[in-house]
Structure formats: C-alpha cells, structure tokens
Structure 1
Amino acid sequence: MSRPFASVRARATLAATLVVAVALVAAGTAVLLSLRSNLLGEAGTQAERSAREVATGLAFAKPYDDLPLDVDDRPVQVVDEEGRLVAASEDLERISGTGVDAVKPQPAATARDGGDDDDDGADDDDHGESLEPGEIGARTTVSDGSATIDGDTEDYRFAAVPVETEDRGRLTVYAGAPLSAEHGAVNTALTVMLIGFPVLLAVVAWVTWLVTRRALRPVEGIRREMAAITASEDLARRVPVPDTHDEVARLASTTNETLTALESSVERQRRFVADASHELRSPIASLRTQLEVAAAHPELLDLDGAVEDTVRLQRLAADLLLLARLDAGERPADARVDLAALAREAAEGRRGVRVRAEEDVTVAGSRGQLERVLANLLDNAQRHARSAVEVSARRDEGPHGAGGDGQTAVVAVADDGEGVPAADRERIFERFVRLDAARSRDDGGAGLGLAIARDVALRHGGTLTVRDTPAGGALFELRLPGA
C-alpha cells in the first residue's frame, strides 16, 4: 500500500537531484572557464613582461648576446622586419604559434628560404603602429603555440612586442610563458568536480529521500486512518492532524471537516428514513384497518376516511420525493416566475387570506417548487392563525446574495396567531419537527412543509426566515434574487 508514496518520494528525489546536477554542471563550467581565462591572462602577462624586457635591451642598442634570452628556460625570438630570425633562446629546438618557425639565427641569404608565410605574419605584427627610434610598441599581440626547449615540449602563450631601433630597424620580440600551470589547475579542478559532483549528488538524493519520507509520514497516517474508517464504516473517527501548520495539516483538517459533513449527512439521512417510515406507518395502518373491516363487513366501510388516508399518504409520498430530489442536488428550472401572480393564485379559495402584491415581482426558478413553498407557508399560517392571514409580494432594492439585477423579490406570509418562540425559529425548519406535540397528525401534518420551503428557497439562491409580527403573530419572509 505504500507504493504510491514511494513513487512520490522517488519523483521528488529524482527531480531534486536533476535540478542540483544541472546547477552543478552550469556552475562547474563557469568556474572552469573563469579559471582558464584568468590563468591564460596571467600567462599572457608574464610573456609580455619577458618580451618587453628583451625589447628594452634592444631599444638601448644592446648586442644580441647581452639580451636576457634564456631566463627561466622560456622561448624567445627576435625577428627583424623582413621576417628573419636574428636572435633566439640558446636551447630552443622547435617553435610554433609565433609566425616564425626558425629556431637558430640565420644569415640574410638563408633567412627567408621557404618563409613567405612567416614574413607575412611578421609584417602583420610589426607594421601595425608607427614608432620612433628607441621606442617600444604599446600594442601587444598574443597567440598560443608550443615550443621544445632542451628536449622538453610544452604549450606556451606568446606575446609579440615591436621595438624600433636606430641601427637595426624595426624588430619584433616574441616571448613565451608556459601554460602548464593553467593546464594543471584546470585538470585538477576538473578532476575534483568529476569526483565531488557525484558524491554531492548522492548526498542530495539521500537527504531528499529522507526529508520526503518525513514529510509524507503524516500523509501515510491520514491514509491508514481513512482506510480504517472505510473498513469500519465508523464516520465518528477522525484523521490525525500534524502540528506542522503546513499543507499536510490543512489537508488533514479539510479531511476531518469532510468527514464531519459526511457523518452529519448520513445521520440526517438515517433520521429522515426513520421518521419517514414512522410517518408512513400511521396512514398505511389506518388504511389497512379500514380495508380489512370493509372486507369483513362491507356495511361498515368508512369511504371518506379511506380516501382521506389515501390523500394524506399521497401527499407525504410527494413531499418525501421532493426532499429526495433536493438532497440529490437537483437544480431548479430557469423559468421566469411572477411571485405576485403566484401569491394570488395560492391564496385563491382560502378563507381569511388577504393578498397585497405589487405588479411584476419576477424571479427565475421552478414554478412548481415555488408554488409548493407558498402553499406550505399558507397551510402553516392558516393552521396557527386565529382569524386572518396576510400575504404580500414586493420588490426590495436592497442587496441580495445571488445574481439578478440588484433587486430582491420578497414574499411575506403573516398570521395573527401566537407566533414562534425565539428559541425554536430555526428548529421549525428541520424535517419532521412539530412544536405542538399534542396536535394531532391529521391537523398538524408530518412536519415537512417548512423544511421543504427552506430547502427550495436555498436552492433558488434565497432565504426563508421567521420573526414576530407587530401584533405578535408569526411572519415568514421569503427573499429571492430578482430576475
């Protein structure tokens, strides 16, 4: 049963590891490039320093033999403006990357053999700026290459510095700085990354796995408790709420709220079934008794009583069916209904009922259900009124809780009876509730009329409330969004 949670943990661990891996690769690449750039820049600076040291000696007309050409075993070349090598490091055996491949100073007659390309390279470097005799060029050209000195071959960064001499014309000094330090540092950093990154990723995966397991532990507790509730069908149980104040705690709280609502709904349904069975038993038993008497003694048949019980049974069945449809979430129709006309129709033929209604008090909803609401309110009012019932229908400009055009349709049903005690003004809208226990079932009904009226009002986006009239009777007020 823990496989779904293990799957969540695996996905979270994989995602975290991939994100860290991408970040490490990006950071490692940036570090390597920065390190290489800095080391190359340092090598270029060293090469330029060596080249300018030699160029300074040339500017002061020092002989070639007195120049510092063999300092730190670095390759140095001095080339004239015709591309001829005129001085070089003593142990230089091979060189590339400077544009002049010669390693030994040569006489003028042989300096240019096969060296057309070398001359071009030297010309490009030397003739780029105008210099006075004894002046060293400010511009340095940097290139990469390799050289073999005394049998050791290495990669070098070369700096080319031009210098104008009085007796030897324009010369160019090439000096190299080894790149072994750069290669070594980059390789070392790369080796450290190749070893350290997998270790770091393993640590990240392990920590993520542990943290995810701890984070999902309350979820597993919720799942186990929900499984136990499902198996036991005990809706009074609740899932544990972790003391973390996070999303999991809110999930547990919401789950408990759902269980509470479900328990209340199931309990209400059980009471409804029990009360409905109790209410149905009386008319069915009475009707059966009358039929059995009639079967044995036809002359004793109470036909009016049998019809009355049948009608009562039919009404009760219709009420129960309507409540079942409302509980199932049946949406009312979207027809336009004039409550003023509906109130006049509902009051027609009822003794002692007076109607005061404005014109065109229109709402959107189910005409049949709203007829039932008015009929139930009038039945209740007539049952408790001493002599008169008044029905009014009007438009109210005040705000309401649902759509419409900003108006509220109000239907009020008032009687001159004893009213409803303040403590019972919500209880009377519960199903099968009758405040007068001594009242007979035939006179008082099954206690479903007001419950049906309240449910229909809520389904139409409105309210149904009760309060006292100025004369002390009960005033039921139905408020619905105007169409």
Structure 2
Amino acid sequence: MTVRLGLRARATALGTLAFAVLLTVGAVLLVTTLEDRLTDAADEVARARVAELLDLAEVGDLPATLRTGDNGVAQVVGPGGEVLAASPNIAGRPAVADLPAGDEPATATFEAPDDAETETYRFWYAAGPGPGGEVTVWVGDSLESVGEASAALRGALWVGVPLAVGLLGAVIWLLLGRALGRLDRIRAEVDRITEESLDTRVAGDGVDDEVGRLAATMNAMLARLDAAARRQRDLVADVSHDLQSPLAAQRLALELALARPGDADVERLGAEVLAATADMERLVGDLLVLASLDAGVAHEPALLDLDGLVLEEATRARVGTPVAVDTSGVSAAPAYADAVDVRRIVRNLLENATAHAAARVVVTVATDEGWARLDVADDGPGIPAEHRDRVFDRFQRLDDSRERGGGGGSGLGLAIARGLAERAGGRLDLLDPPGRPGGERGAHLRLLLPASGGRGAGDGLTGG
C-alpha cells in the first residue's frame, strides 16, 4: 500500500529534517569548540604558572606551598628528584613524573593523585636553574573539569535540540496550513466557476503576499476568459445578424418567384440572389481572415511596390462612386510584406474612406525613416472622440454618420486591416486630421509597413 503525503506534510518533514541536521551539526561544533576553548584557557594559565615558578626558583624565593586552582596541581622537583614545593592536594607525595625537561614548556597527559583520588591531568612542565641546581616545574589541570562542562552542555543540547526541532516542525505545520488553506480556498472557488459564471471572481483576503497576488492573477485570468467568452458570443450574434439579411433576401426573392413563376423576372431575381450571395461570401472571407489572424498564421513577406499597389486599388475604388480619390501624393515606396495582405489592407482603407467621404479622399504614399507610409484621409463626418478607441474593434459600427447603412460593410474592415498590418510587422493608426484635433470632421488613417526584412514588428513606430 502506497502512502501519498500531502504538500503540507512533505514540506513540514523536509523543513524539520533540514533544521534538525543543521542543529545537530551546530551542537557538535559547539561542544567541540567549548572543549577546545576550555583546554586552551587551562593551557595558557598552566604555562604562565610554570614560567612564574621558574622565576621564583631561580631567585630562591620559592614557597613551600604552591597556589593552584580548584582542579589544578603544581610541583617543583629538585635535581635529585626531591620535591622542593607542592600544592596542598599533593603535598608529601613524590614527583609526579620523571621525564626529561627542557627550557621551553612541554605538555604531557597522565594520571596523578589528588587528595584521596587519582585523576587524569594535562601537565605543562619545564626545567630551569635553582639555588641548588636545575629544578623541574610541573603544573597540571584536571581534564575532569573540561569533561564535566562539555557533558553538561551535551545534556542540555540533548534536550534542547529535539525540543527546538519539534517546535519548529509545529510552527512550519501551522504556517503551511494557513498558507495552503488560503490556496485551497482559491482552488475551491475557481473549481466552482463554470462557463456560465465567468464573471465570478476569487475573494481576496487583503493580504499583499504571494497568495494574495495569486488571487489577483486568477481574477485577471478570469476577466480575460470572461472577455473572450463575451467576444465569442458577440461574434456569433454579429455573424448571425449579418447573415440573416442576405439569407432572408434570397429566400424572399425565391419564394416570390415560386409563388408566381409566370411573372418571375429571372434577370432581377438573379441579380438579387447574386448580391445577397456576394454579401455572404465577403463576410465568410472576412471571418476566414480573422481566423487566420487569431491562429497566428504567418505569411512569407516579400519586397513589393506599395505605390503601384495603391494606384491599382485607387483605380478600382473610383468605379461606381462620385467621390474623388486624389492620388497626386503617391510616390515610390518599397515595402516588405505579403502582397495579398497589403492589397486587402489598402482595399479596406479605401472602401471605408469612399463610403464615408463627402466628396474627396486624399491618398499619400511615401517613405518615412525606413518605413513605407500610406495615409488615407477623407472629408466625411469623422469619428467622434468617444468612439476613437473602438474604431478597430470587430463588428464595430459607429453612429449613423459612419455606420453600415451609410456605406455598407460588416464592421470588420478596419479590424482586419489592423490585424494584417501587425502581422506584416507594421501598424495602422487613426490620426487627428491636420488642424482639426479630436477628429470632429474627417478621418485620417495611417499605415506603416517595414521597408525591408530587417525591421522587427513595431520597431521605431510612432503614431505621429
């Protein structure tokens, strides 16, 4: 049977284990350091006492009884092995050892009597001149004091380390439970959100930390999903609405022809059906272009003459409209883009301008700091300031001055034009007509396309 631990248990176990290892290593280092420091301190005192007793022996001022600490012993041995002076705890005892000694203090560890006991001492000893010949000074400190101090510390650590580890584990468990509880609450709230309730948001607790920012991020994602779902519903509704009229016109024409076949005007019937079919065909084509833009389908760019393409489309735009299309400002401007995409952009811009112009559309083509620039300006009613941010939205139809009834179209022309411009590495902007800030009258659209294949999308573009 496999036991699966939750994130809370795993994180608590790992954190507690890591802390226990660190505390254990720290405790070992602490005990070792304490023993070394106590031994070094005792050695320093013993060496100083050896030097002091040698100086006293040299001048003949050596006392019979030597002062030492509670855990120390001291002894001065003459040249014949007789004890000249000793500490009270080894008074009357023979020399503690018979080892050759030099001028510099040396150390040795062995057992020595202490009152009624025998303990292990760490001795420092050295030889020096005395009134009756060379003397040897022995000063030692019991290792029992160092062992007792380290044992006391180890005992405290044996209790303190597990207690600290246990307390830390409990703290980690509680803190993780609080944090993961907030995460689990967010998960549960998001899990309850369905396609029909995308407007629901995760309730935050007002804490500005990682979990709080996660809740804000989830709300932002839900807002994007909600907006995407709304756009999809609007798209279906708009497409249905735009297809309904041509389909209804075809059905009506066909029903009338079938009701009175003898009086049917075949030519008129065909013209009506073809016109409705052309509207549907254009809408379906626009939807296919939008689908390719949304799918991120890339077209292979190539060098083309923007001016020649614009002049061709301007000639086409003049057919069937009383609006004058002025192309006197068209000059040579090579561009690096897909020719089919650019032709559709230019056609959409000219159709939009001629549909809403009062009498004149001015087209300008030029180069602008390495970019091919196309300006299309009309003298129509313009775009109100409150609608300027939405003019490139899909199926966007403005007020009566520029909506479908005034010039045809599905409201996709400018949206497609901007999408194709961005796919080509350029941009399409709505500008204020010169001398008329705010766009109270007339619309001015500017297209910028890369003049070579070395420019990145949007590099150095300005809406100027």
Partner of 1:43: 42
- Matching of residue 475 in structure 1 with residue 444 in structure 2: yes
Q: 1:281 aligns with which of 241, 244, 255?
A: 244
The offset of 1:216, in angstroms, is: 3.0
Partner of 2:235: 272
Q: Secondary structure at the match of 1:429?
A: coil
Task: Encode CA deviations 1:210-239: one digit per residue, 9 max, x unaligned.
Answer: 122223333222211101113x63011001
- Matching of residue 342 in structure 1 with residue 334 in structure 2: no
How far apart, in 1, do the equivalents of 2:66 and 2:378 lie? 123
Q: Secondary structure at the match of 1:259?
A: helix
Partner of 2:193: 229
The offset of 1:153, in angstroms, is: 3.0
How far apart, in 2, do the equivalents of 1:94 and 1:202 lie? 54
How far apart, in 2, do the equivalents of 1:435 and 1:68 lie? 115
Q: Which moved more, 1:374-383 or 1:40-49?
A: 40-49
Partner of 1:175: 139
Q: Kindly indicate whether the alpha-carbon contact (under 8 Å) linking 1:93 and 1:147 is maintained by their aligned counterparts in 2.
A: no
Q: 1:389 aligns with which of 356, 361, 370?
A: 361
Superposed CA RMSD in Å reads: 3.5
Taking the TM superposition and a 5 Å limit, the aligned residue runs for 1:437-456 are 443-456=407-420
The offset of 1:269, in angstroms, is: 1.0
The offset of 1:22, in angstroms, is: 4.2
Q: 1:215 aligns with which of 179, 195, 201?
A: 179
The offset of 1:11, in angstroms, is: 4.2
Per the normalisation by structure 1, the TM-score is 0.77
Partner of 1:160: 125
Q: Kindly indicate whether the alpha-carbon contact (under 8 Å) linking 2:348 and 2:413 is maintained by their aligned counterparts in 1.
A: yes
- Matching of residue 68 in structure 1 with residue 78 in structure 2: no
Q: 1:426 aligns with which of 370, 380, 389?
A: 389
Partner of 2:8: 9
Q: Percent identity?
A: 34
How far apart, in 1, do the equivalents of 2:444 and 2:359 lie? 15
Letter in 1 for 2:109: D
Partner of 1:205: 169
Q: Kindly indicate whether the alpha-carbon contact (under 8 Å) linking 1:93 and 1:148 is maintained by their aligned counterparts in 2.
A: no
- Matching of residue 243 in structure 1 with residue 206 in structure 2: yes
Letter in 2 for 1:463: L
| Residues 470 and 70 (structure 1), Cα distance of their counterparts in 2 relative to 1, 3 Å cut | closer
Per the normalisation by structure 2, the TM-score is 0.79
Q: 2:270 aligns with which of 300, 303, 307?
A: 303
Q: Which moved more, 1:24-33 or 1:302-311?
A: 24-33
- Matching of residue 368 in structure 1 with residue 340 in structure 2: yes
The offset of 1:379, in angstroms, is: 0.8
The offset of 1:9, in angstroms, is: 2.9
How far apart, in 1, do the equivalents of 2:376 and 2:140 lie? 107
Letter in 2 for 1:465: L
How far apart, in 1, do the equivalents of 2:47 and 2:350 lie? 108
Unaligned runs of 5+ in 2: 319-323, 453-464
How far apart, in 1, do the equivalents of 2:396 and 2:443 lie? 17
How far apart, in 1, do the equivalents of 2:356 and 2:145 lie? 106
Q: Kindly indicate whether the alpha-carbon contact (under 8 Å) linking 1:17 and 1:201 is maintained by their aligned counterparts in 2.
A: yes
How far apart, in 2, do the equivalents of 1:25 and 1:161 lie? 41
How far apart, in 1, do the equivalents of 2:17 and 2:426 lie? 51
How far apart, in 2, do the equivalents of 1:28 and 1:440 lie? 83
Q: Secondary structure at the match of 1:229?
A: coil
- Matching of residue 29 in structure 1 with residue 66 in structure 2: no
Task: Encode CA deviations 1:371-419: one digit per residue, 9 max, x unaligned.
Answer: 211111111111122333221122233xxxxxxxxx4432111223333
Q: Kindly indicate whether the alpha-carbon contact (under 8 Å) linking 1:464 and 1:476 is maintained by their aligned counterparts in 2.
A: yes
Partner of 1:134: none
How far apart, in 2, do the equivalents of 1:178 and 1:339 lie? 101
The offset of 1:160, in angstroms, is: 0.2
Q: 2:279 aligns with which of 303, 312, 318?
A: 312
Letter in 2 for 1:326: L
- Matching of residue 185 in structure 1 with residue 154 in structure 2: no
Letter in 2 for 1:420: I
Task: Encode CA deviations 1:340-373: one digit per residue, 9 max, x unaligned.
Answer: 333223223332323223323424x433222211
How far apart, in 2, do the equivalents of 1:435 and 1:150 lie? 112
Q: 2:109 aligns with which of 129, 135, 144?
A: 144
How far apart, in 2, do the equivalents of 1:344 and 1:73 lie? 111
Letter in 1 for 2:249: S
The offset of 1:337, in angstroms, is: 4.3
Unaligned runs of 5+ in 1: 101-117, 130-138, 398-406
| Residues 480 and 261 (structure 1), Cα distance of their counterparts in 2 relative to 1, 3 Å cut | farther
Q: Secondary structure at the match of 1:142?
A: strand
Task: Encode CA deviations 1:190-216: one digit per residue, 9 max, x unaligned.
Answer: 111111101001111111221222233
Q: Kindly indicate whether the alpha-carbon contact (under 8 Å) linking 1:144 and 1:156 is maintained by their aligned counterparts in 2.
A: yes
| Residues 462 and 68 (structure 1), Cα distance of their counterparts in 2 relative to 1, 3 Å cut | same
Q: Secondary structure at the match of 2:448?
A: strand
How far apart, in 2, do the equivalents of 1:74 and 1:332 lie? 95
| Residues 384 and 143 (structure 1), Cα distance of their counterparts in 2 relative to 1, 3 Å cut | same
Q: 1:255 aligns with which of 193, 198, 218?
A: 218
How far apart, in 2, do the equivalents of 1:372 and 1:163 lie? 112
Task: Encode CA deviations 1:169-204: one digit per residue, 9 max, x unaligned.
Answer: x23222322121111000110111111101001111
| Residues 80 and 440 (structure 1), Cα distance of their counterparts in 2 relative to 1, 3 Å cut | closer
| Residues 347 and 318 (structure 1), Cα distance of their counterparts in 2 relative to 1, 3 Å cut | same
Q: Which moved more, 1:176-185 or 1:21-30?
A: 21-30
| Residues 379 and 48 (structure 1), Cα distance of their counterparts in 2 relative to 1, 3 Å cut | closer
Partner of 2:459: none
